């Protein structure tokens, strides 16, 4: 156990590392003095406070400040704010005091960080979605606030081991749902990758450990090969007289897992687990030509894969990322990805938008960042009423692949993949989008719902008489377009309600009555409508007219209340678990038995790690590695309930295994004999497809628990000819 003296040494070392990092980036005496002052205030605010690990709490703001300095590359004001980020929340210091001590800029950042922390500390409906919206609001005010918050979250993820499992799951899911997409969009790729890997570590620990171990072994096996390949590349470039550095980059565990799932391949079949990065030392005028020279030299010796060329030099990504990626066939038949960029491009790729700040934090002239912040403001301004829907749409723009299309004048616009011609119109300008009549793509008329492809030239046709229609919402994917259309339709709805209210008031006066609560309720009952706004809108939009009003008056005069339609109570649609299942799972810290249903998307069985999710139909129980788990836990943490299998319950489950390999005579007989006779397990169904010497099949078995299913899978893997066995889940959700 560490002593107090050891902790003091730990804090002292971290502080010295921070000061050295500031000085190494050109910090002058004033900058260092500012950091020292902020540290003293933070140390005073957090004195005698400990983290769960037992370390003094001041180690946390010190580590956050180090991430802000070294990994993100922000300046002294941001570093000071990182040191002070928990001071207002956790001590008696106020914003006014910080303003007096450090000035308005740092005080403002600390206040913004305190507000963001407050968002995550309190539960509310649609919690994660609302959190995301509020974070975006903070970005639109000062991007540095969210950059520091990402550093704070990264350190929390690095030290998550001391937290209870349910908190690990919530924080990790939230990180994958909110922070990884933001890091991606802001160009912080190394931080995004670490968020994803740590998120996988805590949401699917078994998968993470298995892949991490495989990657480590693969690195050991391939290290010598990669070293030889790197040396051959270096020799080629040295002969050309170029000045450069060569680095190796390993693909993250999360990225490998995603590729395995998306392409339905094994770990061994992921061929781009590594990349060679070539960083050339060229000035702005020569960097592009030098990059293509490097590409030419390499591909003259190693055969490139034409389908794997990614040119982000000619057309950078929307977040400013510039690099040329190609995949070449190396010696011994191995595909290897090569990334070529200049030192400037590498700096900006590592630091993202933060690289645009000079050390003195002069954030002027960053056009790409300014445009993105403007887009965020527009998206928030035009957001839908549903925070969840807003976030889903915004994440599309954050995380999706991008396409590049051109106006007739040759201006290039960046859009998310699957964007339509109507999205393109709104991207040019909101007013153009609102009056879009049609579109021509590459000279041919196309519907507004046409999906734009990279390289398309799009001409937007407009009319002063055109107005957005409700169907347009089905034809757009970008938050800007969806928000603008919704705002227009909402305003149209409001105006229709006002017109309808005036019409009804006039017609009721003619019928010797008046518009009041009583007459409004009678009309709602007569027309079977839910509320006055719906009633007014129906009349204001022309769906209900004077003829319908006369019918109401006639019914009313003939004894309206005697002819009211009967109302029915809503049906109780709560899901009920069968009696033989309800005792197998207990919920919450008190382990109570509640009605539930096993989710059909992942079919949890005894022994699987599980959680409960409360939706409109009751409680559904999912595996923690279910394909919907991160989405549910990340978006709706307040609806997640801790669930565990009751001890001693062994009723049995049906489970489906998929297996494949090289076909041979007698294989089916050996499989059935092994499972039914050798393991004494009941086979519910067996299906095999074979052809051209290979086969794939499924076997449904009745097992007691997860360990028995794993035993079946392992025994099948040992059968000669079978090379893959994996659990199969239903595609229905």
Annotated catalytic residues are: 89-90
Whether residue 621 contacts residue 612, with contact meaning beta carbons closer than 8 Å, is answered with yes
Largest CA distance in the chain: 101
How far apart (Å, rounded) are the C-alpha atoms in residues 714 and 716? 5
Asked if 462 and 436 count as a contact pair (C-beta separation under 8 A), the reply is: yes
3-state secondary structure of 576: coil
Q: Please give the Cα distance from 341 to 199 (Å, whole number).
A: 29
Beta strands in 448-595 (DSSP E): 458-462, 585-587
> Taking the CB of residue 42, how many other CB atoms lie within 10 A of it?
26
Give the residue among 62, 57, 54, 60 at the shortest CA–CA distance from 2.
54
CA distance 659 to 410: 52
Angle, in degrees to the nearest 10, between helices 76-83 and 59-66: 160
Helix ranges (DSSP H) in 400-478: 421-428, 430-434
C-alpha 215/C-alpha 208 separation (Å) is 10
Residue 472 to residue 268: CA distance in whole angstroms: 45
C-beta of residue 337 within 8 angstroms of C-beta of residue 53: no
Q: How many whole angstroms separate alpha carbon 624 and alpha carbon 633?
A: 9
Q: Using an 8 Å Cβ cutoff, are 418 and 477 in contact?
A: yes
653 contact partners, CB below 8 Å, separation of at least 6: 603, 605, 606, 702, 703, 704, 705
Phi (first) and psi of residue 613, to 5 degrees: -130, 125
Non-local CB neighbours of 182 within 8 Å, separated by 6+ positions:
135, 146, 150, 398
Question: Other C-beta atoms within 10 Å of 616: how many?
Answer: 7
d(CA 522, CA 515): 11
Confirm if 505 and 517 have CB atoms less than 8 A apart: no
Report the DSSP pairing between strands 436-441 and 597-598. unpaired
Q: How many Cα atoms occupy the beta-carbon half-sphere of 401 within 13 Å? A: 8
Instruction: In whole angstroms, give the CA distance from residue 418 to residue 421.
Output: 10
Which element (helix H / strand E) includes 657?
Answer: strand 653-662
- DSSP track, 75-121: -HHHHHHHHTTTHHHHSS--HHHHHHHH-HHHHHHHHHHHHHHHHHH
Nearest to 416 by CA among 397, 429, 431: 397
Q: Which helix (H) or strand (E) holds 338?
A: strand 335-342
CA–centroid distance for 497 within its chain: 38
Per the document, the length of the chain is 733
Whole-number Å distance between alpha carbons of 33 and 40 = 11
Angle (CA) 549-554-559 rounded to 5° is 125
């Amino acid at each position: 156990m560490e002593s107090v003296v050891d902790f003091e040494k730990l804090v002292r070392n971290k502080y010295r590392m921070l000061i050295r990092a500031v000085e190494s980036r050109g910090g002058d005496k004033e900058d260092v003095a500012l950091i020292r002052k902020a540290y003293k205030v933070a140390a005073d605010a957090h004195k005698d406070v400990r983290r769960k690990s037992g370390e003094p709490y001041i180690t946390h703001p010190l580590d956050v400040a180090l991430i802000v300095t070294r990994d993100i590359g922000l300046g002294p004001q941001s570093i000071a704010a990182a040191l002070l980020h928990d001071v207002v929340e956790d001590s008696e210091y106020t914003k006014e005091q910080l303003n007096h001590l450090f000035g308005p800029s740092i005080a403002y950042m600390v206040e913004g960080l305190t507000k963001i922390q407050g968002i995550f500390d309190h539960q509310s409906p649609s919690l994660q979605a609302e959190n995301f919206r509020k974070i975006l609001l903070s970005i639109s005010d000062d991007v540095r606030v969210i950059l520091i918050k990402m550093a704070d979250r990264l350190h929390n993820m690095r030290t998550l081991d001391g937290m209870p499992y349910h908190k690990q799951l919530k924080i990790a899911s939230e990180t994958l749902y909110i922070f990884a997409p933001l890091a991606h969009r802001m160009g912080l790729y190394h931080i995004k990758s670490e968020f994803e890997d740590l998120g996988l570590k805590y949401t699917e620990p078994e998968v993470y450990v298995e892949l991490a171990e495989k990657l480590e072994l693969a690195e050991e096996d391939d290290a010598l090969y990669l070293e030889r390949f790197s040396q051959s590349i270096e020799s080629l470039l040295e002969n050309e007289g170029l000045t450069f550095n060569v680095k190796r980059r390993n693909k993250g565990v999360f990225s490998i897992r995603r590729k395995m799932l998306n392409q339905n391949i094994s770990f061994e079949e992921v061929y781009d687990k590594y990349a060679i990065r070539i960083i050339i030392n060229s000035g702005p005028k020569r960097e592009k030509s030098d990059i293509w020279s490097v590409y030419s030299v390499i591909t003259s010796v190693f055969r490139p894969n034409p389908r794997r060329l990614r040119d982000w030099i000619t057309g950078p990504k929307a977040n400013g990322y510039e690099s040329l990626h190609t995949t070449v066939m190396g010696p011994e038949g191995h595909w290897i990805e090569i990334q070529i960029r200049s030192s400037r491009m590498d700096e900006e790729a590592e630091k993202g938008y933060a690289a645009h700040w000079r050390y003195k934090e002069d954030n002027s002239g960053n056009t790409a960042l300014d445009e993105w912040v403007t887009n965020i403001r527009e998206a928030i301004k035009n957001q839908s009423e549903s925070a969840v829907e807003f976030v889903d749409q915004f994440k599309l723009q954050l995380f999706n692949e991008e396409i590049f299309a051109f106006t007739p004048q040759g201006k290039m616009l960046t859009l998310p993949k699957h964007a339509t011609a109507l999205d393109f119109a709104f991207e040019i300008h909101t007013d153009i989008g609102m009056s879009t009549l049609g579109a021509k793509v590459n000279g041919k008329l196309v519907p507004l719902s046409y999906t734009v492809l990279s390289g398309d030239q799009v001409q937007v046709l407009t009319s002063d008489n055109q107005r957005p229609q409700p169907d347009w919402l089905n034809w757009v994917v970008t938050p800007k377009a969806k928000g603008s259309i919704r705002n227009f339709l909402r305003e149209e709805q409001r105006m229709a309600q006002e017109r309808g209210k005036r019409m009804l008031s006039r017609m009721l006066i003619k019928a010797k009555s008046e518009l009041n609560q009583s007459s409004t309720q009678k009309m709602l009952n007569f027309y079977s409508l839910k509320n006055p706004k719906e009633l007014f809108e129906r009349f204001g939009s022309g769906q209900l007219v004077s003829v319908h009003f006369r019918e109401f008056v006639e019914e009313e005069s003939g004894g309206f209340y005697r002819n009211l339609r009967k109302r029915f109570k809503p049906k109780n649609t709560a899901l009920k678990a069968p009696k033989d299942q309800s005792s197998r799972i207990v919920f919450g810290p008190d382990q109570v038995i509640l009605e539930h249903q096993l989710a059909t998307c992942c079919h949890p069985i005894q022994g699987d790690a599980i959680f409960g999710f409360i939706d409109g139909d009751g409680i559904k129980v999912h595996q923690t590695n279910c394909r919907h788990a991160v989405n549910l836990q990340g978006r709706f943490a307040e609806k997640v309930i801790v669930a565990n299998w009751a001890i001693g319950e062994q009723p049995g489950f049906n489970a489906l295994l998929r297996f494949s390999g090289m076909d041979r005579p007698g294989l089916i007989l050996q499989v059935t004999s092994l499972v039914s006779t050798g393991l004494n397990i009941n086979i519910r169904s067996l299906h095999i497809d074979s052809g051209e010497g290979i086969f794939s099949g499924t076997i449904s078995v009745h097992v007691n628990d997860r360990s028995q299913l794993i035993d079946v899978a392992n025994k099948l893997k040992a059968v000669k000819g079978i090379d893959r066995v994996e659990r199969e889940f239903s595609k229905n959700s």
